[in-house]
């Protein structure tokens, strides 16, 4: 079972005792902890996932606060807006748990233990899930934290990363790239699932082959490897899959003869046949024809391209 599947399986099993067990997914950023919670929510048809990033909030956002009511001339307890939106079957997701301020963490522990909001209103029938980066050694955790969570460590998921990048960019990365994924490294730059995804998204913004090659060169230089070239090849294959053979051929002509493209303002609107007429009249036509003849165009059943050079 892949690491991502293990996370989802743990959460699925914990659903049965959601009023007692609070699973906490432990692992480096970018391994898919949030995605696993969302997948688990879909598995059980949960209404919604209310996410609280514990490291970025104050106690009043997690529990509530006491404020004066001037009309009644009294102090009243106001529940957290986020907790007040919860309904039966929802999930309360506490992200970056161990990075939270100690006061925030204490209020969260109170909610988990009592299953009540600040005014004493019971929480609905929800599941509470936590996640955290592996930043605090277990021996440094206080006992009250250990007693309230079921911690489980997870590592990098190659399969989940591959599928996520494919979904976001249409790029299918080779196995040798995915095998380089890690959660630690001796240099500032190391290939985590998150950083690899961002590199692929960067490449996917390239408007043409020249830009893509420049991006690949920068990535190769920074990562001191051929990772940029591998991403470029994946981008190139994805680009072909989304274009018809006729569009592929037109793009190839633009790449092979960019000077011609710039000199002919309406070149982009030409049919392939019109491009052929323009190119065949050029002095450098023989070289262009050889490059086009060696070009790899993926055929499609619904459309055939029969052009002789």
Categorize the per-residue pLDDT at 267 as very low, low, confident or very high, splitting at 50, 70 and 90. low
Residue 288 in domain: yes
Does residue 117 sit in the same domain as residue 225? no
Percentage of residues in the chain having pLDDT higher than 70: 78
Residue 109 in domain: yes
CATH code at position 93? 3.40.50.300
Retrieve residue 228's tokens. 């940029």
Looking at residue 309, its pLDDT comes to: 35
Q: Say if CB 63 and CB 80 are below 8 A apart.
A: yes
Residue 308 in domain: no
Retrieve residue 85's tokens. 């939106």
The C-alpha atoms of residue 280 and residue 209 are separated, in whole angstroms, by 23
Looking at residue 87, its pLDDT comes to: 92
Does residue 120 sit in the same domain as residue 231? no
The alpha carbon dihedral of 205, 161, 173, 230 has a sign of: positive
Looking at residue 49, its pLDDT comes to: 94
47 pLDDT higher than 60: yes
Lowest mean pLDDT among 4-8, 123-127, 136-140: 136-140
Categorize the per-residue pLDDT at 61 as very low, low, confident or very high, splitting at 50, 70 and 90. low
Categorize the per-residue pLDDT at 288 as very low, low, confident or very high, splitting at 50, 70 and 90. confident
Q: Say if CB 97 and CB 132 are below 8 A apart.
A: yes
- Distance spanning both ends of the chain, measured CA to CA: 52
**Can you state the angle between helices 227-241 and 193-204, rounded to 10 degrees?**
50
The C-alpha atoms of residue 132 and residue 121 are separated, in whole angstroms, by 28
Percentage of residues in the chain having pLDDT higher than 90: 35
Q: What is the pLDDT of residues 62-98, one digit of tens each?
A: 665 555 555 666 555 556 777 888 899 999 999 998 8
Q: 122 — phi, psi (to 5°)?
A: -65, 145
Does residue 237 sit in the same domain as residue 194? yes
**Can you state the angle between helices 285-293 and 272-280, rounded to 10 degrees?**
140
Residue 300 in domain: no
Does residue 125 sit in the same domain as residue 224? no
Sheet holding 23-26, edge to edge: 49-53, 91-95, 127-132, 23-26, 150-153
Residue 31 in domain: yes
The C-alpha atoms of residue 25 and residue 130 are separated, in whole angstroms, by 6
Residues found in the chain: 309
What is the model's pTM?
0.65
Q: Say if CB 226 and CB 234 are below 8 A apart.
A: no
Instruction: Count CA atoms closer than 13 A to 156's CA, side-chain side.
Output: 17
Does residue 249 sit in the same domain as residue 237? no
Q: What is the pLDDT of residues 220-243, one digit of tens each?
A: 999 988 999 999 999 988 887 766
Q: Who has greater pLDDT, 289 or 308?
A: 289
Write the Ramachandran bin of 105: left for phi over 0, alpha for psi from -120 to 50, otherwise beta.
alpha
Looking at residue 282, its pLDDT comes to: 76
Looking at residue 41, its pLDDT comes to: 95
User: Could you give the 3-state DSSP secondary structure of residue 45?
Assistant: coil
Q: Calculate the average pLDDT of the chain.
A: 81
Does residue 230 sit in the same domain as residue 272? no
40 pLDDT higher than 80: yes
Residue 302 in domain: no
Looking at residue 280, its pLDDT comes to: 80
Write the Ramachandran bin of 35: left for phi over 0, alpha for psi from -120 to 50, otherwise beta.
alpha
Residue 305 in domain: no
Task: Return the bridge partners of 151, or none.
Answer: 24
141 pLDDT higher than 60: yes
Does residue 164 sit in the same domain as residue 115? no
254 pLDDT higher than 70: no
Does residue 250 sit in the same domain as residue 169? no
Does residue 195 sit in the same domain as residue 214? yes
Range of the domain at 77: 3-153
Most confident of 60-74, 204-218, 245-259: 204-218
Retrieve residue 132's tokens. 């955290």
Among residues 201, 221, 241, the one where a domain terminates is: 241
Number of H helices, E strands in the chain: 15, 7
Q: Number of structural domains, the chain? A: 3
Does residue 73 sit in the same domain as residue 183? no
Does residue 254 sit in the same domain as residue 185? no
Q: How far is CA 238 from CA 47, 54, 230, in A?
A: 35, 38, 12
293 pLDDT higher than 90: no
Q: Say if CB 43 and CB 8 are below 8 A apart.
A: yes
Q: Who has greater pLDDT, 269 or 199?
A: 199
Categorize the per-residue pLDDT at 302 as very low, low, confident or very high, splitting at 50, 70 and 90. very low
Among residues 222, 241, 260, the one where a domain terminates is: 241
Does residue 128 sit in the same domain as residue 188? no
């Amino acid at each position: 079972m892949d690491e991502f599947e293990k996370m989802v399986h743990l959460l699925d099993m914990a659903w049965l005792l959601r009023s007692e067990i609070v699973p906490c997914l432990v692992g480096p950023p970018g391994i898919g902890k949030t995605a696993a919670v969302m997948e688990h929510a879909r598995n059980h048809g949960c209404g919604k996932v209310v996410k609280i990033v514990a490291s970025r909030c104050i106690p009043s956002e997690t529990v509530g606060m006491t404020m004066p009511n001037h009309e009644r001339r009294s102090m009243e307890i106001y529940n957290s807006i986020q907790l007040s939106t919860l309904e039966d079957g929802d999930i309360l997701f506490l992200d970056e748990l161990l990075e939270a301020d100690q006061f925030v963490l204490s209020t969260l522990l109170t909610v988990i233990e009592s299953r009540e909001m600040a005014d004493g209103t019971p929480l609905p029938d929800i599941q509470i899930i936590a996640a955290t980066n592996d930043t605090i050694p277990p021996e440094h955790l206080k006992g009250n934290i250990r007693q309230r969570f079921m911690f489980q460590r997870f590592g990098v998921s190659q399969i989940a990363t591959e599928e996520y990048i494919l979904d976001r960019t249409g790029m299918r990365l080779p196995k040798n790239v995915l095998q380089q994924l890690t959660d630690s490294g001796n240099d500032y730059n190391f290939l985590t699932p998150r950083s690899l995804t961002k590199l692929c998204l960067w490449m996917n913004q390239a408007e043409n082959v020249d830009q893509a090659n420049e991006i690949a060169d920068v990535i190769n230089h920074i990562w001191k490897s051929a990772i940029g070239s591998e991403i470029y090849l994946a981008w190139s294959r994805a680009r072909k899959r989304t274009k018809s053979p006729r569009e592929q051929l037109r793009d190839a002509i633009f790449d092979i003869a960019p000077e011609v493209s710039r000199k002919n303002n309406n070149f982009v609107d030409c049919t392939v046949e019109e491009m052929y007429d323009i190119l065949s009249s050029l002095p450098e036509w023989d070289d262009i024809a050889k490059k086009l003849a060696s070009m790899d165009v993926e055929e499609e059943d619904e459309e055939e391209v029969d052009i002789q050079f």
